[in-house]
Amino acid sequence: MTTKIPTAVDRRAFLQMSGALVVSFSAASILDAADVVQGPFDTRGSHVDPTQLDSWLAVGADGGVTAYTGKCEFGQGMYTAQIQLVAEELSVPVSRVKLIQCDTSICPDQGTTSGSQSTPTNFNERNLAQAAATAREALLRLASQRLGVPVDRLSASDGVVGVKGDTGKRVSYGELVGGKRFDVTVNAHAPRKAVADWKVMGTPVPRVDMTEMATGTFEFVHNVRVPGMLHGRVVRPASVGAAVASVDEASVRGMPGLVKVVVRKNFVGVVCEKQWQAIQAAAKLKVVWTAGPGLPAQHDFYDHLRKQPARDAAVVDSKDVDQKMTAASSVLKATYLHPYQMHGSMGTSCAVADVQGNKATVWSPTQSAYPTRSGVAAVLGIPPDNVRVIYVRGSGCYGINGADTVSYDAALLSHAVGKPVRIQLSRQDEMAWENYGFAYVIDQRAAVDRSGTIAAWDCESWSPSLGGRPGYDQPGNVVTGMLVGFEPAAPAPRAAGAPRGPLRNGSNAVPSYLAGCIDGSCNGAGTIKSERVVTHTIASPFFTGPLRSPARLQNTFAHECFLDEIAAHVKADPVEYRVRHLSDPRLREVVQAAAKAAKWQPRQSPQRTGSGRGIACVAYEGDNGYVAMVADVDVDQSSGRIRVRKLVVAQDCGPITNPDGMKNQIEGGALQGLSRALGEEVTWDERKVTSIDWRTYHSLPLGFDVPEVESVLINRNGVEASGAGETAITIVAAAVGNAVFDATGARIREVPFTPERIVAALRARS
């Protein structure tokens, strides 16, 4: 397959090439807005003005609609859902909507596609949804003028505006727009279609990209080919923290196809005519590295975390926790441990860059097109306006695998040779140097009164951090940026200040059962008002960053398992005990819905029959989706192996755009969560990461006994749409861990639940 998109193309030319009729483009209102944010994710001013309708939508002479979005598809179904949104608001068939995503030359800057924020960003009263509603209103006004009929007597259907009760008076969108421009701003008050009137939204429209993917004709970034393209390979440091001492270019001189050895500070790579030649040259190139500082021992790493300088934060503090603990009839304590985990994408990351002089085009799988544009500009030393990033789907990661760093790799190598360069990371280069999901140590302590109700909850956590998403101005947050001299973000030690509100529980550091009261305002999902949550963030020896449900998964594992421990201590049913301590009606409802679908019978854990069931729930990020899960498991108590038989998941994410898409997210999140709960863990020795392939990093294997996943969708109208991509995965480890306890009486407080840990817990149970 060959893909070639010109490096210099404006919006009008692009639309003309694609057969659509440009309706307008205006950037005048943001010419001086380079340092002004444009939205909730600190997006920057750009040449595509998000206040203008024409930055979002164009109507062709044939009535086809072209939409532009800054939220990209990487497996979560967002491409289809956004097409549904536009088709619904404009009353056109899905087949007549073309979506252009995350191309910095023509699409609005919507920051990063992440954090289950695409639906809240584009499907409520702003951005793409509001632009589509504005376009519908504008078309109706144009039709009113054309037909000489008041707007309230008009209706739109199938891309045509007609007069109610008079089938002879009608005009198509193409006829209305013609060669004219909308030339209007997005109207924040343009009415959205009522959910009751939906015909496209709310229906299980099949994924529009699925046929091509299933037949092998879909073009991933790995398939991009540019005329004159060369191939690159990177040579990463021999150990964490090592620097280049010398590079012996003579060691590869004369190798077939070698074009250039590229060295910039501690970044080393080769460029060859063919990919296999690049692989061979990179392997043969002699690079001498300085010794790195060494890594902390893995066997006592969690204890190591507690002893490091930290950036402390008090998230909530009612100031009476210690007093409540002293007066309580009983106090429970537990510590939960979660390892570094990696994305482990099935395909390694790939990018293609074409740098000519001080202009660059990068075909990238990044989830952050505009931020990657800024990062590429920084590493090349050219203006951001001279960089075009074109999103092309890659391996997928729901976080930050090698997609950003490989884009920098390709740009640096292309810049060095003045020709297009394609680079695909090796398995080892990807797994040893990606940004890992956070490791965590979480101490829990709770006071229980004589009635068995929780009187106070105290939570303290330690987690290492280094780097993360590069954003617009921190290319050092991924390995390539660091190697060329940019510093990664690291937590500066500081003491905790007083909590500042209102509570935004974005990392789910605060358990769902706490009231979340700060300065008299309570924004938690629970009833417990004697509360304290303190976090300690320390410098990590490895790069870290978002991995599906970052921090929320680790925190929720500890919170939901500890709640279960308390319920067992007071001999309460785990479902009833959760509901008793929840105040948020939506979270209570998903708990009850999951229990009902699973035919939950009131019980006291543990049952100790070898088969068990557990439940977990979360108000994801406090208010961005509500989910509960019941897990049914069997535990072989001789081998310690867990068989998960069934997962029942109830989810409320507001009005549902596509029921099949939501089920896909639930099922995918459940299985990825199961993989992370049962096997995944980054390992290392004194110098380097050792989990660098599928033999040493243990995700779910082929042939795994896949459990049944039953989805219970709560379609809630009258509220804002919220995210569904990270809800289900957040509670898998807790639900399975609670089920293992129910089955055996053994409490597993460390992820992953390996057979060895299960056997050890079985031996240690009281």
Residue-wise pLDDT tens digits, 665-705: 999 999 999 999 999 999 999 999 999 999 999 999 989 99
pLDDT category at 42 given cuts 50, 70, 90 is low
Indicate if 303-340+438-764 has the same CATH topology as 222-291+343-433.
Answer: yes
- pTM for this prediction: 0.94
The domain locations on the chain are 11-207, 222-291+343-433, 303-340+438-764
Task: Identify the band that residue 167 occupies on the pLDDT scale cut at 50, 70 and 90.
Answer: confident
Dig out the tokens for 701 from the structure: 């294997």
Write the pLDDT tens digit of every residue in 699-711: 999 899 999 999 9
Please report which confidence band the pLDDT of residue 179 belongs to, taking 50, 70 and 90 as the band edges: low
The yes-or-no verdict on residue 6 having pLDDT over 80 is no
d(CA 674, CA 752): 10
Residue 52 pLDDT > 70: yes
Instruction: Give 264's strand partners.
Output: 267
In this prediction, residue 422 has a pLDDT band, given cuts at 50, 70 and 90, of: very high
DSSP assignment of 273-333 equals SSHHHHHHHHHH-EEEE--------STTHHHHHHTS--EEEEEEE-S-HHHHHHH-SEEEE
Tracing tokens 């600190």 back to the chain, one arrives at 42
By percentage, how much of the chain surpasses pLDDT 70?
Answer: 94
Find the range with the poorest average confidence among 108-122, 128-142, 448-462, 500-514: 108-122
Q: Tens digits of per-residue pLDDT, 330-344?
A: 999 999 999 999 999
Q: Say if residue 139 is exposed, middle or buried (CB neighbours under 10 Å; 0-12, 13-18, 19+).
A: buried
The mean pLDDT of the chain is 93
Q: How many CB atoms lie within 10 A of CB 576?
A: 16
Contacts of 586 (CB under 8 A, 6+ apart): 619, 626, 652, 716
**What is the distance between the alpha carbons of residues 384 and 141, in angstroms, rounded to a whole number?**
39
Q: Which of 298, 299, 342 is nearest to 679 (CA)?
A: 342
Residues 330-355 as b/e (b if ≥16 CB within 10 A, e otherwise) read eebebebbbbbbbbbbebbbbbbbbb
Find, among 391, 514, 498, 374, the residue nearest to 454 by Cα: 514
Q: How far apart are CA 99 and CA 396, in angstroms?
A: 19
Q: What is the CATH number of domain 11-207?
A: 3.30.365.10
303-340+438-764 maps to CATH 3.40.50.620? no
SS3 content of the chain, % helix, strand, coil (to 5): 30, 25, 45
The mean per-residue pLDDT over the stretch 479-500 comes to: 97
362 three-state secondary structure: strand
Q: Which residue has the higher pLDDT, 309 or 18?
A: 309
The 10s digit of each residue's pLDDT in 300-321 is 999 999 999 999 999 999 999 9
- For tokens 């040893």, name the residue: 432
CB 167 within 8 A of CB 155: no
Given its phi and psi angles, is residue 171 left (phi above 0), alpha (psi -120 to 50 degrees) or beta?
Answer: beta
Tell me what the mean pLDDT of segment 621-644 comes to.
97
pLDDT at 116: 87
DSSP 85: H
At residue 16, does pLDDT exceed 50?
no
> What is the token pair recorded at 621?
């990020």
d(CA 282, CA 275): 11
Confidence at 7, pLDDT banded by 50, 70, 90: very low
The answer to whether residue 2 scores a pLDDT higher than 80 is: no
What's the CA dihedral at 589, 592, 596, 597 to 10 degrees?
Answer: 60
What average pLDDT does range 394-406 have in this prediction? Answer: 93
Please state whether the peptide bond connecting residue 293 to the residue before it is cis, i.e. omega within 30 degrees of 0: no
User: φ, ψ for residue 493 (rounded to 5)?
Assistant: -55, 140
What's the pLDDT at 766? 64
The dotted CATH code for 222-291+343-433 is: 3.30.365.10
pLDDT score recorded for residue 90: 97
Task: Indicate if the pLDDT at residue 26 is higher than 50.
Answer: no
* Res. 35: pLDDT tops 70: no
* CA-based nearest residue to 15, from 3, 7, 23: 23
Tokens of 82: 């956004």
- CA–CA distance, 686 with 415 (Å, rounded to integer): 35
